[in-house]
């Protein structure tokens, strides 16, 4: 079954696959994670606010993002971002946004909806008395959040946030639909050029598996370490 295989094609393309492809994938993952968690936390705080002008838009945004496929969201932003950019700076034409920034914006905004739900559960997991204690000490809303609630919420939700990031890492492969050279895109390019689809796609699957599996194993270890034994 493996007799007709040409494993040499993998070795030949390793520098391209990792230096170009994997670097893109990891950079995109890191930036979308950072942006997504920050924006997601803000969305979660908005959703938990009792002010209708804050919680209704946040809930609408989160539910909208969660009911549409990521592929469609990628297409949406790929076309929408140049128009919004042009409108913001008052240009005559839609501005040029590179594929990289387009995908960073897309994944940040999309994943924020998922991080928001996790952070909402995290904030709600902090005992009510903590907020009261903060207020009793004379802290304002931002201080209570920043010094009391959010650090505990992050700690409680750390494993789920990291698991979501592993999913994000896998999801970034979908930038393939914009013909971007991420890890999968790089492999697909070589696969099609050399007619070596089987070898390249199997190799991609193995690499993704090793990375994701190792990371989720580490998250599981972390979960056991920080678990509160009751």
Partner 1 sequence: MKYNWNWQIFWAPAPDGTGIYLWWLVSGLGWTLATALLAWVIALALGATIGTLRTTPLPWVVRLGNAYVELFRNIPLLVQMFLWYFVLPELLPKALGDTMKQMIPPWASFWPAVLCLGFYTSARVAEQVRAGIQSLPRGQRMAGTALGLTLPQTYRHVLLPQAFRIILPPLTSEFMNIIKNSAVALTIGLMELTARARSMQEFTFQVFEAFTAATVIYICVTLVVVFGMRWVEKRVAVPGLISAGGAPMAGH
Chain residues binding partner 1 by CB under 8 A are 1, 64, 67-72, 75-76, 79-80, 83, 86-87, 91-94, 114, 117-118, 121, 157, 160-161, 163-164, 166-167, 170-171, 173-174, 176-177, 184, 188, 197-198, 201-202, 204-205, 208-209, 212-213, 216
What tokens appear for 216 in the block?
Answer: 């989720």
Please spell the DSSP secondary structure of 67-136, one letter per residue: TS-HHHHHHHHHHHHHHHHHHHHT-SSPPP--HHHHHHHHHHHHHHHHHHHHHHHHHHHS-HHHHHHHHH
The residue among 148 and 200 lying less far from partner 1, judged by its C-beta, is: 200
User: What whole-number distance in Å separates Cα of residue 66 and Cα of residue 60?
Assistant: 10
Q: Provide, rounded to whole angstroms, the least separation between the CB of residue 65 and partner 1.
A: 10
The residue among 164 and 181 lying less far from partner 1, judged by its C-beta, is: 164
The residue among 49 and 170 lying less far from partner 1, judged by its C-beta, is: 170
User: What whole-number distance in Å separates Cα of residue 119 and Cα of residue 44?
Assistant: 6
Distances (CA, A) of 5 to 9, 196, 199: 9, 9, 7
Q: Provide, rounded to whole angstroms, the least separation between the CB of residue 68 and partner 1.
A: 5
Q: Provide, rounded to whole angstroms, the least separation between the CB of residue 142 and partner 1.
A: 24
Residue 142 class from Cβ within 10 Å (0-12 exposed, 13-18 middle, 19+ buried)? exposed
Cβ pair 127, 52 in contact under 8 A: no
Q: Provide, rounded to whole angstroms, the least separation between the CB of residue 40 and partner 1.
A: 12
What tokens appear for 127 in the block?
Answer: 């005992």
The residue among 22 and 139 lying less far from partner 1, judged by its C-beta, is: 22
The residue among 24 and 114 lying less far from partner 1, judged by its C-beta, is: 114
Q: Provide, rounded to whole angstroms, the least separation between the CB of residue 206 and partner 1.
A: 9
Q: Provide, rounded to whole angstroms, the least separation between the CB of residue 140 and partner 1.
A: 28
The residue among 54 and 177 lying less far from partner 1, judged by its C-beta, is: 177
């Amino acid at each position: 079954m493996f007799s007709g295989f040409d494993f040499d094609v993998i070795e030949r393309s390793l520098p391209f696959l990792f230096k170009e492809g994997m670097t893109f994938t990891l950079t995109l993952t890191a930036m979308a994670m950072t942006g997504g968690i920050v924006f997601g936390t803000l969305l979660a705080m908005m959703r938990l606010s009792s002010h209708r002008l804050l919680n209704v838009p946040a809930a609408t945004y989160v539910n909208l993002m969660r009911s549409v496929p990521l592929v469609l969201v990628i297409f949406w932003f790929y076309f929408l971002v140049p128009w919004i950019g042009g409108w913001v700076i008052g240009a005559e034409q839609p501005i040029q946004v590179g594929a990289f920034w387009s995908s960073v914006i897309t994944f940040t905004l999309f994943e924020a909806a998922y991080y928001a739900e996790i952070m909402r559960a995290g904030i709600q997991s902090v005992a009510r008395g903590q907020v009261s204690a903060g207020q009793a000490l004379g802290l304002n809303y931002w201080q209570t959040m920043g010094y009391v609630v959010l650090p505990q919420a992050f700690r409680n939700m750390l494993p789920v946030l990291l698991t979501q990031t592993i999913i994000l890492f896998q999801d970034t492969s979908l930038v393939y639909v914009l013909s971007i050279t991420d890890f999968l895109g790089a492999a697909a390019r070589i696969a099609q050029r050399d007619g070596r689809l089987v070898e390249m796609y199997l190799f991609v699957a193995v690499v993704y598996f090793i990375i994701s599996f190792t990371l989720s194993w580490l998250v599981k270890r972390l979960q056991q370490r920080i678990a509160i034994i009751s």
